[in-house]
Homo-oligomer: A and B are copies of this chain.
Amino acid sequence: MQALRVSKRAINAGRCLSTCSTLFAKKTLTIDNLNPHVKGMEFAVRGPIVIRGSQIEKDLAKVLLIKANIGDAHDMGQKPITFIRQVIACVAYPELLQSVAIPKDVKEHAQTILKDCGGRSAGAYTPSPGIECIRKHCAEYISKRDGLPCNYEDIVITAGATEGIRDVLKLFVDETAPKKVAVMIPIPQYPLYSATLDEFNLGQVRYYLDEDNNWGLNIEECERALEESKSEYNTKAICVINPGNPAGQVLTRKNIEEIVRFAHRNNLFILADEVYQENIFDKNSHFYSFKKVIAEMGGEYKEQELASFYSVSKGYMGECGLRAGYIEFTNLDPEVYKMFNKMISAKLCASSLGQTALDCAVNPPKPGEPSYDLWHKERRSILESMKQRAHLVQEAYGSLEGIECQSVQGALYAFPKLHLPQKAIEAAKSKNVAPDFFYGMEMLEATGICTVPGSGFGQKKGTYHFRTTILPQLPLMKEMLDRFKPFHANFMKKYK
């Protein structure tokens, strides 16, 4: 790993504008008058460790850097699903519909989509809530998943779940309200939530997940968090990430029911981040959608307001770069929905080719169709391999001194707890960084493994973690663990 100790260039060297100079007169837009909420935002998933990682990658051969910081399967060697890419290629370049090399069902999928595109071209703006047949396929997917009816008009296609979550959170902004409006978020959480709430100037009510109970969601803790926030905030919504990011837990049905009762009792809108619904690795875990649980609870709960999010970036597809997902609204006030549609219309639409990938994810080949066997094989192989890697990571980290790792039941991450020696904590303090940031930067410099410190997701005071993905392919994953173990042992020894 000696080679990785490259000369340090300033992390932000690449960020300076060439045309700028401090010799010039005062700017109109400066750091002092910049949008204060933009200044306040943090997004650790692409934070300083990752920026430094990219620097190292530029300086060295690419294979050395292991980007375990972000849920980006293809970047870590996962191959695309052939069916998805063939359909996209045909929609983009319809001359391929004449090609004998393209299976018949692929062509039919592409033709169905093109028929719903303006001028039969992916180059036309789509309707703002998405291409109609794709919304219908999303509804069929949900209906099949839940065993319940689903209306396609409740579905809005977005440029990834990120955009959907941001658009829904935006609805709650109201600086004219007597008390500041706030949203409950889990801690640890995916930092899109905290960053967006900061950007929108919405309050955060943080409920802590129960690490000792495999990151379960404890309703007493939710009650505590909400109760304590009441003097300062008017809390209107609760975000739940299931399966969990960064902690990889999968909520039990009972737990979901408790959350629904809690939300209903306290008039909270539920934002259910269900983008990892296909990533379940624990044999005793099962994915239940909030929508299904709410419907089956019935009675007073059946009117619970809910927005559920889905993404092609996760699951077995891993198509992060194509930017597509959907929101399904349940029980949203129709007047609010009209305003939502007006709001998104100013942004025009999500990418037609991203929407095509979404179509393939929710409407894959069926048994007997020419593409089915290959699709099935590719999908199963990816999910099986992810399962293996989930177990491998958990066992490897769990076996080391000074690390505890809960079961990776689902999603794409492990979030091991670090028992950092006091000297390491002091060394971090002397550098004015969080102790787990210090650990993560040392790890990067020594091993080329890029992770995200627990402080980027939030954690109980005095605890330290890091998030790693399970996405490096098996040989690289084994290499990652081989690099990690001696680093960790040395670190613990050095600061003992």
A residues adjacent to B (C-beta < 8 A): 12, 14-20, 24-25, 27-31, 33-39, 41-43, 45-46, 54, 67, 70, 72-80, 85-86, 88-90, 92-93, 96, 99, 101, 117-119, 121-128, 151, 153-154, 159-160, 162-163, 166, 170-177, 191-192, 195-196, 199, 201, 236-237, 267-269, 303, 305, 313, 317-323, 329-343, 345-354
Contacts and interface: CB of A to CB of B under 8 A. Distances in A.
Contacts of A322: 122-123, 351-353
A276 to B, nearest CB: 16
A33 B305 CA distance: 15
A80 B154 CA distance: 32
What is the oligomeric copy number? 2
Contacts of A334: 15-17, 20
Given A31-B333, A36-B174, A89-B93, 15 more contacts: A14-B153, A15-B338, A19-B154, A19-B329, A29-B305, A29-B333, A35-B170, A41-B343, A54-B127, A78-B119, A89-B89, A89-B92, A89-B96, A125-B321, A322-B352
Report whether over half of chain A's contact residues are helix, strand or loop; otherwise say mixed: loop
Given A74-B118, A153-B15, A351-B322, A346 B196 contact: yes
Contacts of A236: 28-29, 33
A192 B153 contact: no
Contacts of A153: 14-18
21 contacts: A15-B341, A17-B332, A20-B333, A30-B335, A34-B171, A35-B171, A35-B173, A36-B174, A39-B339, A80-B121, A88-B89, A88-B92, A99-B101, A123-B322, A124-B321, A175-B201, A192-B346, A196-B346, A199-B346, A322-B353, A323-B354
B123 A346 contact: no
Contacts of A317: 123
Contact of A28 (B201, B305, B329, B347): B305
A389 to B, nearest CB: 16
Contacts of A46: 128, 345-346, 348
Contacts of A174: 33-36
Nearest to A347: B162
Given A36-B176, A77-B119, A347-B163, A353 B31 contact: no
Given A17-B331, A118-B75, A171-B35, A321 B29 contact: no
A75 B37 CA distance: 39
Nearest to A335: B31
Candidate in A31, A332, A335 with the most chain B CB atoms within 10 angstroms: A335
B171 A343 contact: no
A318 to B, nearest CB: 6
B77 A86 contact: no
A23 to B, nearest CB: 9
A124 B29 contact: no
- By Cβ-Cβ distance, the 5 closest A-B pairs, closest first, are A75-B118, A18-B151, A321-B352, A74-B123, A89-B93
Contacts of A70: 125
Nearest to A13: B153
A162 B173 CA distance: 22
A268 B28 contact: yes
A96 B99 CA distance: 11
A345 B171 CA distance: 22
